Amino acid sequence: MKSRRDFLKSAAVVGMFSAASLPLRAAENKTEAPAPGDERRYWVSVTEKIARPVLENLARRQLRKNMPVEAHPKATKRESVTHLEAFGRLLCGIAPWLALKNLSGGELKLQQEFVRLAQTSLDVASDPQSPDFMNFTTGGQPLVDTAFLAQAILRAPDVLWEPLDRRVKNQIIEAFKSSRKIPTPAGNNWVMFAAMVEAALLEFGELTLEERLENCVRKMLGWYCGDGAYGDGDFFHFDYYNSFVIQPMLLDVLAVLKKQDALFAPALAVQLKRARRFAQIQERFIAPDGTFPSVGRSMAYRFGAFQTLVQISLMRELPVETKPAQVRCALTAVIRKMMEAPGTFDANGWLQIGFCGHQPALGETYISTGSLYLCAAGLLPLGLPPADEFWSEPAAKWTSQKLWSGENLSADHAISDVRKVEVPTLKR
């Protein structure tokens, strides 16, 4: 309990939400779930604690100077890529909240502050004259995080694109185009990174490349295994990459393509069916105490593992058996377990490598401090207004709590599905 109290007293939370955090401190000795309003305040406080060091330092052109770079002893050259990782992944997760209208009180003030910081940071990150100009071209990793940055802008164009000066827009377009120097991956989930960058360029009115857009989507859809899950290339990997990358990026890329040509609507409909099923499975992964299996690589991305579940929640597309309130309660339990574990943050508020606390051995050679900010992808439901049923409905047991308490639930079943999905070619 001490770690939770320390977390709620931290400078990042006390700043804008000191008054709002009082009910959370008062509730920490209760066994029942906090009230819905308290849960949203808690999620916002987590958002602030994760995001503030990145956005404040980048907006001041001091991210490279001040962000530590923790990495595996055998990792190489992470200093050249970790800053784009931190920015793109963070923004990918908080973008829907930044774009939400009609907030009030302390949450509105924090949102407005972070919108300004994010807009300034987009300029700083894409300005070749900036000390924090980011690496969009050297090595393979920049393609990954250019894609997460592109996904962020697509998720919140009203605040992360339309208000920007033409100069800044041009900088971003040039940065995204420069990532084409990185060869199009062929054999794994990286095809979606190339496709996501092209989808953003398409939205910006730029000419796209079929080999990096439609062809990449065709490859990914061709690796479908069944029951809502994709292989990571020709083989299925039992990890969370269906949620870290594959399902969310397929949804977002196909949505852009459908806007351009209605012929993409059937492919999007099939993908939505698959993602809804995968989200349903993810909710069932969360144990009664808020833990979930650590399986496969990249577990240091923490609750970013549930990006498919939260994106389907944000889209209001949850299966009828999976109620928004039970997802909210389940995810709150997960986030508390992870964010309040001792060692999750260093003394200056930066994330440290780990799954539940500081566990450096979990950091594969491609993981460094910036990589960890993909956890923010688990915060997408903050893009739903406080009055939405996700936030406003009374607390509810999630599936594993119901089953392990003896409730008589219907059996779970796989979905039937087509194997082959046609992906047309855009007219250029």
pLDDT one-digit tens code per residue, 65-86: 999 999 988 888 899 999 999 9
Judge whether 419 lies within some domain: no
Judge whether 164 lies within some domain: yes
- Give percent of the chain above pLDDT 90: 88
Output the domain CATH number for residue 340. Answer: 1.50.10
- Kindly indicate the confidence band of residue 10, based on its pLDDT and cuts at 50, 70 and 90: very low
Judge whether 171 lies within some domain: yes
- CB 114, CB 55: distance < 8 Å: yes
Question: What's the pLDDT score for residue 26?
Answer: 29
- CB 290, CB 336: distance < 8 Å: yes
Flag whether pLDDT at 7 surpasses 60.
no
The candidate with the shortest Cα–Cα distance to 311, out of 253, 366, 257, 358, is: 253
Task: Compute CA 189 distance to the chain's CA centroid, rounded to the nearest angstrom.
Answer: 16
When pLDDT is averaged across residues 267-293 and rounded to a whole number, the result is: 98
User: What 3-state class would DSSP assign to 101?
Assistant: coil
Question: What's the pLDDT score for residue 27?
Answer: 31
Judge whether 368 lies within some domain: yes
Flag whether pLDDT at 16 surpasses 80.
no
Question: What's the pLDDT score for residue 72?
Answer: 87
Spatial separation of the C-alpha atoms in residues 286 and 292, rounded to whole Å: 5
Spatial separation of the C-alpha atoms in residues 189 and 307, rounded to whole Å: 15
**DSSP label of 285:** H
Flag whether pLDDT at 267 surpasses 60.
yes
The candidate with the shortest Cα–Cα distance to 369, out of 291, 301, 317, is: 301
- Kindly indicate the confidence band of residue 37, based on its pLDDT and cuts at 50, 70 and 90: low
Spatial separation of the C-alpha atoms in residues 308 and 327, rounded to whole Å: 12
Flag whether pLDDT at 28 surpasses 80.
no
- The tens digit of pLDDT for each residue in 334-388 reads 999 999 999 999 999 999 999 999 999 999 999 999 999 999 999 999 999 999 9
When pLDDT is averaged across residues 21-33 and rounded to a whole number, the result is: 34
In this structure, what token pair is assigned to residue 415? 């979905």
Spatial separation of the C-alpha atoms in residues 357 and 346, rounded to whole Å: 10
Judge whether 422 lies within some domain: no
Between 330 and 234, name the one with better pLDDT. 330
- Give percent of the chain above pLDDT 70: 91
Spatial separation of the C-alpha atoms in residues 83 and 125, rounded to whole Å: 9
Range of the domain at 68: 2-404
Model pTM score:
0.91
Judge whether 411 lies within some domain: no
Q: Of 161-175, 394-408, 409-423, which gets the smallest average pLDDT?
A: 409-423
Spatial separation of the C-alpha atoms in residues 115 and 59, rounded to whole Å: 11
In this structure, what token pair is assigned to residue 242? 């269906």
Number of domains the chain is built from: 1
| Average pLDDT along the chain | 92
Judge whether 185 lies within some domain: yes
- The tens digit of pLDDT for each residue in 163-215 reads 999 999 999 999 999 999 999 877 999 999 999 999 999 999 999 999 999 99
Spatial separation of the C-alpha atoms in residues 386 and 102, rounded to whole Å: 10
Judge whether 416 lies within some domain: no
- CB 346, CB 59: distance < 8 Å: no
Spatial separation of the C-alpha atoms in residues 364 and 298, rounded to whole Å: 7
Question: DSSP assignment of 27-42, as one string?
Answer: HTT-SSPPPHHHHHHH
Flag whether pLDDT at 226 surpasses 50.
yes
SS (H, E, C) 190-254: CHHHHHHHHHHHHHCCCCCCHHHCHHHHHHHHHCEEECCEECCCCCCCCCCHHHHHHHHHHHHHH
Flag whether pLDDT at 8 surpasses 80.
no
When pLDDT is averaged across residues 35-64 and rounded to a whole number, the result is: 94
Residue partners of 104: CB distance under 8 A and separation at least 6: none
When pLDDT is averaged across residues 232-245 and rounded to a whole number, the result is: 95
* CB crowding 324-341: b at 16 or more within 10 Å, else e: bbbbbbbbbbbbbbbbbb
